[in-house]
Amino acid sequence: MSTGIRAALCLLLWAAPAGAETTAMTYLCDRGVSVPVVYVPDADPAVAVLYIEGRLIHLQTMPSGSGARYGWPSDGSSYEWWEHQGRARLGWHEGASDAMTPIYTDCVPQD
């Protein structure tokens, strides 16, 4: 694991609420992109904090038919992280048009 990813994971863990249980994972996505994620399932609402392009992105659980979907509860635009059966994807949800633009697809946990 690279030093940059380790530093990102430390930042992600620091962003979790005090005393909260966390699960840290790094996903390998298309184009060889690594996406570190910290899940905080016991927060209310549950959250996922992603390190994307040098920024921490805080997302909350959103309704989903299957899997775990994280986004930002507003009518505006935001990132969306969707994990289902060991695979995940990141997209940009455009609030005005309700369109989803894929950013990273086919993300799988790294060993």
Domain ranges of the chain: 3-109
* Paired strand residues for 58: 49
**Residue with token string 């946990």:** 109
DSSP labels, the chain: --HHHHHHHHHHHHHSPTT---EEEEEE-GGG-EEEEEEETTSSS-EEEEEETTEEEEEEEE--SSSEEEE--SSS-EEEEEEETTEEEEEEEETTTTEEEEEEEEEEE--
pLDDT at position 48: 95
CATH superfamily of 3-109: C-type lysozyme inhibitor (2.40.128.200)
In order along its 111 residues, the chain shows pLDDT tens digits of 555 555 555 554 555 556 668 899 999 999 999 999 999 998 889 999 999 989 999 999 988 788 889 998 887 899 999 999 999 999 999 988 989 999 999 999 996
